[in-house]
């Protein structure tokens, strides 16, 4: 009878330890998921072709006092060719 009680007690201790270890490992995963969004992670629209992209990946241009962001260098060059006059 005493052996049966020790077996049951051992099994219960095993289950408690297993649950605690599992919860601790899940908490570590949550802490290292994705980094929090930064201010430059904002999605913006290219003024020329209209596609959306992350501002940090864009090509910046200051035009007439405004900062514009383009999806690529070629879109920036096309914008300059279209909206900039050379007299």
Contact call for residues 58 and 75 (beta carbons, < 8 A): no
The residue that leads in pLDDT, 49 or 23, is 49
Q: What is the pLDDT of residue 23?
A: 83
Distance between alpha carbon 29 and the CA centroid of its chain, in Å? 15
* Segments making up each domain of the chain, as ranges: 1-33, 39-83
Q: In 16-46, which positions are buried (b, 16+ CB within 10 angstroms) versus exposed (e)?
A: eeeeeeeeeeeeeeeeeeeeeeeeeeeebeb
CA distance 70 to 52: 9
Share of the chain above pLDDT 90, in %: 53
Q: How do residues 41-69 score in pLDDT, each as one tens digit? A: 789 999 989 999 998 889 999 988 999 99
The topology under which CATH files domain 39-83 is Ribosomal Protein L24e; Chain: T; (2.30.170)
CA geometry: angle 87, 62, 83, nearest 5 deg? 40
> What pLDDT band is residue 87 in, cutting at 50, 70 and 90?
low
Residue range 16-37: mean pLDDT, rounded = 73
Q: What is the pLDDT of residue 41?
A: 73
């Amino acid at each position: 009878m005493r052996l049966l009680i020790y077996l049951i007690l051992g099994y219960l201790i095993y289950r408690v330890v297993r649950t605690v270890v599992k919860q601790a490992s899940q908490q570590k995963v949550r802490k290292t998921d994705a980094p929090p969004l930064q201010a430059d992670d904002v999605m913006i629209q290219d003024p020329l072709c209209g596609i959306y992209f992350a501002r940090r990946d864009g090509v910046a241009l200051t035009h007439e006092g405004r900062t514009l962001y383009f999806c690529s260098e070629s879109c920036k060059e096309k914008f300059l060719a279209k909206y900039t006059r050379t007299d």
